[in-house]
């Protein structure tokens, strides 16, 4: 694989690297450009000059060799020597010393370069041997002059393209900062005593990166960024990133411009994968994609903790997460906004239930506790088939869509409800119960707040500790102490309080922070920017609470009625106020028609064997899938189909892919991983 252009070679021995660089000639080279003498020009273009000389001498060489009786032997010898040199190409040292100056190596050859380079002496030798054996090139008598010119032009074009750019020697500047590390950071009173920088690598943009190895018996910790900046003589905190790699190893990256400054936009790629429970949620400083886990397959929901001070981008991150949930038919979103819609103003009619204010918020929390208990009781008597084909009773894990959707509850500005004089104590108790017990029945709790302090969470640190064990998104904090408390043990050592409010050019750092999640990286990260949250909140349809729970719990029917009332008043420009007298505990009213409740799932159903679906060309697997979707009556993901029919997931996905383009098969792909029988499609496609 070709190395990056202008890249400095990697060294596992820092002392050897610095010794090679620390010379008067190197210092002179780093201080400014050397004079452009003819000798220097020849050195810089040595590759092209060598090939040009070889190409230009092809015709005259053939003429000379033809004059000797055994010239063809010389041609073969030259070809063998050239082939050996071309075969060894790329194994030369990384730096070459020329008159006291260390010159950078050319970019390493790719496989194509090696093949072309090896073909040059082979074809050239064949051409010389032919000319030597046939009397040499003669104008108008034979084609050898023309062939030699074509040979020279072909390899000359390749040489110009291969060596077209003059490499930049970034090593002296890099060596200076590595010396700074040894003198200021690795000393006994520095941020990383007795540490070593391993494999320093200069980046094409002028920055560099290296691994930090601490001595045995010590663990790598992300120390105060100010101390590292001071050691390297860098003033801008945007230009340095630290990441922990292992107990004794870390990585430092120095930028000329922070790549996270550009960030990313929320787009089509931000969707929940129903197979893994993961969704992309921004990028890390090195460009790798960051992930957020909604559920763990075979286990249950994964809770979340989101913290960030005012202006850190916390609400925009919630917009992105709610947008991902909105796009998935497997997730039912519920939001409690104690600020009465000011925190998430675009989402009241984009989720199944939106509770503005503490009065309605506490009722929604009570309903969530009731749903958790109802699901637990229902799952405890549920029949299901395990991977060995045995029918069992009582399921202690959650499968999205089988039979219920993942229920995701977001509590924004949580301190306003958890510290409320009237409802705070009850809210803390319910939130604690949800955090400890709701995961196995598919209820995901997401708490968002500016501060992680116990005083902001109703005095209960257990809530914070449990939620930090899931997805812990830590944006810019108001202070280092608050930021480190928000980071928790998974992000040990990071300082979100050191994140500046703005980049050096004045642009906001909103969305910049750290994410402890499925990627297991202690690295700087930035959430995607949602440009049109309102449009995102109105994509597709709202996934509702399952009908079985609605029928069983009056309080669930009540919060759905209140949600519908709130929307009517809001859209009419009127004030909504929750009135607890409207809930009698026995109200029989159904759920609003706008939200489609999920019916009991496939694990409770039996696929009828008598159904013979259309499509004579269907395989046995295809017929079973069509029969299942006809009986199921609503959208289903491939994972649900495979689990119900007890088939391998790849087999089901392959069959669905084949049926997708067959007009005779009564199956429709609704997108977002959902499939449905055409007999039931009208209900789900007219709104779209």
Are 163 and 47 in contact by the 8 Å Cβ rule? The answer is: yes
Can you read off the two tokens belonging to residue 380?
A: 């405890």
Can you read off the two tokens belonging to residue 656?
A: 């669905």
Least confident of 249-253, 450-454, 618-622: 618-622
pLDDT at 324 over 90: yes
Higher pLDDT, 169 or 264: 264
How many other CB atoms are there within 10 angstroms of residue 31's CB atom? 9
Q: Are residues 372 and 224 in the same domain?
A: no
| Residues 62-103: tens digit of each pLDDT | 667 666 667 767 777 777 777 777 666 655 544 444 444 444
Q: Are residues 142 and 176 in the same domain?
A: no
Q: Are residues 113 and 190 in the same domain?
A: no
**What CATH number should be reported for the domain holding residue 271?**
3.40.50.300
> Which residues, 6 or more positions from 649, have their beta carbon under 8 angstroms from its beta carbon?
275, 638, 639, 642
Q: Which domain-ending residue is among 260, 287, 303? A: 260
Are 258 and 238 in contact by the 8 Å Cβ rule? The answer is: yes
Q: Which domain-ending residue is among 134, 162, 190? A: 162
pLDDT at 275 over 60: yes
How many other CB atoms are there within 10 angstroms of residue 678's CB atom? 15
pLDDT of amino acid 367: 96
For residue 475, tell me if it sits in a domain: yes
pLDDT of amino acid 654: 78
For residue 3, tell me if it sits in a domain: no
pLDDT of amino acid 151: 75
Can you read off the two tokens belonging to residue 527?
A: 């959430």
How many Å apart are CA 270 and CA 222, to the nearest integer?
Answer: 30
How many Å apart are CA 335 and CA 355, to the nearest integer?
Answer: 6
Can you read off the two tokens belonging to residue 159?
A: 């040489």
Least confident of 25-39, 223-237, 546-560, 562-576: 25-39
Element (H, E) at 209: strand 208-213
For residue 487, tell me if it sits in a domain: yes
Can you read off the two tokens belonging to residue 208?
A: 């560099």
Are 233 and 185 in contact by the 8 Å Cβ rule? The answer is: no
With bands split at pLDDT 50, 70 and 90, how would you rate the model's confidence at 29?
A: very low
pLDDT of amino acid 273: 94
Degrees to nearest 5, angle at CA 233 with 230 and 236: 80
How many other CB atoms are there within 10 angstroms of residue 141's CB atom? 10
Q: What share of the chain in percent tops pLDDT 90?
A: 34
Q: Which domain-ending residue is among 239, 260, 281? A: 260
> Which residues, 6 or more positions from 13, have their beta carbon under 8 angstroms from its beta carbon?
none
Element (H, E) at 137: none
Q: Are residues 95 and 201 in the same domain?
A: no
pLDDT of amino acid 435: 93
Q: How far is CA 176 from CA 24, 33, 198, 212, 227, in A?
A: 13, 17, 15, 17, 18
Q: DSSP letters along 411-436, please?
A: ESSTHHHHT-TTTHHHHHHHHHHHHH
| Residues 501-531: tens digit of each pLDDT | 888 788 899 999 999 999 999 889 999 999 9
| Residues 34-66: tens digit of each pLDDT | 455 677 677 666 666 666 666 666 667 766 766
Side-chain-side CA neighbours of 526 within 13 Å: the count stands at 22
| Residues 645-688: tens digit of each pLDDT | 877 777 787 788 778 777 778 888 877 678 888 888 877 665 44
Q: Are residues 251 and 274 in the same domain?
A: no
Q: How far is CA 433 from CA 234, 367, 373, 471, in A?
A: 48, 13, 11, 18
Q: DSSP letters along 530-598, please?
A: -S-HHHHHTSS-PBPPPHHHHHH-HHHHHHHHHHHHHHHHHHTTPPP---GGG--S---PPPPTTSBPP
pLDDT of amino acid 516: 92
* Average pLDDT of the chain, as a whole number: 79
For residue 569, tell me if it sits in a domain: no
pLDDT at 107 over 60: no
Q: Are residues 190 and 93 in the same domain?
A: no
How many Å apart are CA 209 and CA 253, to the nearest integer?
Answer: 4
For residue 552, tell me if it sits in a domain: no
Can you read off the two tokens belonging to residue 164?
A: 């077209």
Q: Are residues 498 and 627 in the same domain?
A: no
Range of the domain at 500: 263-537
Q: Are residues 114 and 247 in the same domain?
A: no
**3-state secondary structure at position 153:** helix
- Which among 320, 313, 284 is positioned nearest to 526, based on CA atoms? 284
**What CATH number should be reported for the domain holding residue 649?**
1.10.10.10
pLDDT at 553 over 80: yes
For residue 582, tell me if it sits in a domain: no
Torsional sign, CA 429, 432, 434, 440: negative
For residue 544, tell me if it sits in a domain: no
| Residues 612-626: tens digit of each pLDDT | 344 445 777 888 888
How many Å apart are CA 381 and CA 402, to the nearest integer?
Answer: 14
pLDDT of amino acid 47: 60
**Taking residues 219-244, what's their average pLDDT?**
84
Q: Are residues 355 and 482 in the same domain?
A: yes
**Taking residues 534-553, what's their average pLDDT?**
92
Side-chain-side CA neighbours of 661 within 13 Å: the count stands at 3
Domain count, the chain: 4
Q: Is 503 left (phi over 0), alpha (psi -120 to 50) or beta?
A: beta
* Inter-residue long-range contacts of 467-471, CB under 8 Å, 24+ positions, other chains counted: 467/303, 467/304, 467/305, 467/435, 468/305, 468/516, 469/303, 470/293, 470/302, 470/303, 470/304, 470/305, 470/517, 471/292, 471/293, 471/302, 471/303, 471/304, 471/305, 471/515, 471/516, 471/517
Can you read off the two tokens belonging to residue 667?
A: 């199956």
Higher pLDDT, 124 or 449: 449
- Which among 235, 228, 210 is positioned nearest to 495, based on CA atoms? 228
> Which residues, 6 or more positions from 374, have their beta carbon under 8 angstroms from its beta carbon?
549, 552, 553
Q: Are residues 223 and 152 in the same domain?
A: no
Beta pairing partners, 522: 244
Q: Are residues 292 and 249 in the same domain?
A: no
Beta pairing partners, 296: 300
Q: Are residues 248 and 279 in the same domain?
A: no
**3-state secondary structure at position 510:** coil
| Residues 190-207: tens digit of each pLDDT | 889 999 888 888 777 778
| Residues 141-154: tens digit of each pLDDT | 666 667 777 777 77
For residue 633, tell me if it sits in a domain: yes
pLDDT of amino acid 682: 76
DSSP state of 186: S
pLDDT at 565 over 70: yes
Are 121 and 79 in contact by the 8 Å Cβ rule? The answer is: yes
Are 225 and 185 in contact by the 8 Å Cβ rule? The answer is: no
How many Å apart are CA 513 and CA 79, to the nearest integer?
Answer: 59
| Residues 342-368: tens digit of each pLDDT | 889 999 999 999 999 999 999 999 999
User: Considering just the CA atoms, what is the radius of gyration of the chain in Å?
Assistant: 34
């Amino acid at each position: 694989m070709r190395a990056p252009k202008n890249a400095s070679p990697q060294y596992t021995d820092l002392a050897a690297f610095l010794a090679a660089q620390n010379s008067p000639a190197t210092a002179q080279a780093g201080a400014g450009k050397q004079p452009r003498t003819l000798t220097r020009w020849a050195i810089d273009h040595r590759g092209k000059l060598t090939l040009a000389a070889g190409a230009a001498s092809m015709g005259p060489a053939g003429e000379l060799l033809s004059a000797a009786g055994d010239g063809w032997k010389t041609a073969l010898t030259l070809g063998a020597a050239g082939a050996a040199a071309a075969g060894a190409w790329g194994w030369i040292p990384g730096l070459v010393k020329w008159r006291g100056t260390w010159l950078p190596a050319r970019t390493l050859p790719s496989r194509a370069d090696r093949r072309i380079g090896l073909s040059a002496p082979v074809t050239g030798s064949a051409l010389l041997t032919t000319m030597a054996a046939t009397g040499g090139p003669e104008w108008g008598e034979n084609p050898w002059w023309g062939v030699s010119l074509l040979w020279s032009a072909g390899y000359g074009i390749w040489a110009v393209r291969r060596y077209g750019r003059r490499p930049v020697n970034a090593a002296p500047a890099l060596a200076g900062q590595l010396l700074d590390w040894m003198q200021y950071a690795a000393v006994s009173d520095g941020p990383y005593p007795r540490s070593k920088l391993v494999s320093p690598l200069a980046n094409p943009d002028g920055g560099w990166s290296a691994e930090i190895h601490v001595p045995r018996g010590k663990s790598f910790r992300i120390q105060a960024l100010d101390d590292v900046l001071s050691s390297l003589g860098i003033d801008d905190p945007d230009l340095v990133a630290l990441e922990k790699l292992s107990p004794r190893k870390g990585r430092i990256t120095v930028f000329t411009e922070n790549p996270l400054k550009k960030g990313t936009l929320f787009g089509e790629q931000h969707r929940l994968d129903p197979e893994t429970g993961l969704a992309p949620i921004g990028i890390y400083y090195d460009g790798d994609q960051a992930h957020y886990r909604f559920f763990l397959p075979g286990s249950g929901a994964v809770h979340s903790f989101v913290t960030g001070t005012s202006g850190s981008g916390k609400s925009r991150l919630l917009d992105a997460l709610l947008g991902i949930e909105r796009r998935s038919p497997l997730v039912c979103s519920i939001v409690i906004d104690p600020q009465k819609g000011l925190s998430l103003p675009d989402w009241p009619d984009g989720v199944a239930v939106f509770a503005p204010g503490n009065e309605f918020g506490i009722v929604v929390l009570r309903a969530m506790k009731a749903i958790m208990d109802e699901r637990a009781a229902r799952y405890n008597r549920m029949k299901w088939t395990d991977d060995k084909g045995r029918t069992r009773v009582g399921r202690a894990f959650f499968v999205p869509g089988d039979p219920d959707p993942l229920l995701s509850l977001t509590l924004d500005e949580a301190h306003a409800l958890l510290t409320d004089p009237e409802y705070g104590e009850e809210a803390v108790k319910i939130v604690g119960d949800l955090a400890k017990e709701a995961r196995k029945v598919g209820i995901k709790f997401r708490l968002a707040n500016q501060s992680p302090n116990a005083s902001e969470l109703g005095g209960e640190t257990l809530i914070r500790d449990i939620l930090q064990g899931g997805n812990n998104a830590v944006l810019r904090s108001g202070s280092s102490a608050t930021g480190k408390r928000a980071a928790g043990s998974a992000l040990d050592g990071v300082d979100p309080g050191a994140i500046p409010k703005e980049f050096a050019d004045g642009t906001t750092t909103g969305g910049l922070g750290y994410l402890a999640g499925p990627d297991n990286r202690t690295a700087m990260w930035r959430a995607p920017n949602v440009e049109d949250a309102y449009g995102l909140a109105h994509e597709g349809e709202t996934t509702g609470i399952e009908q079985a729970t609605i029928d069983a719990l009056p309080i669930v029917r009540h919060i759905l009625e209140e949600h519908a009332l709130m929307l009517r008043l809001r859209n009419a420009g009127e004030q909504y106020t929750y009135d607890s007298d409207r809930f009698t505990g026995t109200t029989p009213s159904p759920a609003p028609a706008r939200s489609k409740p999920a019916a009991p799932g496939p694990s409770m159903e039996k696929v009828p064997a008598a159904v013979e679906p259309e499509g004579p060309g269907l395989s046995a697997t295809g017929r079973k899938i069509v029969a299942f979707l006809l009986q199921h009556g609503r959208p289903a993901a491939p994972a649900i189909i495979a689990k119900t029919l007890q088939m391998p997931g790849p087999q089901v996905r392959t069959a669905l892919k084949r049926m997708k383009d067959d007009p005779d098969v009564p199956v429709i792909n609704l997108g977002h991983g959902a499939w449905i029988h055409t007999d039931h499609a009208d209900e789900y496609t007219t709104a779209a």
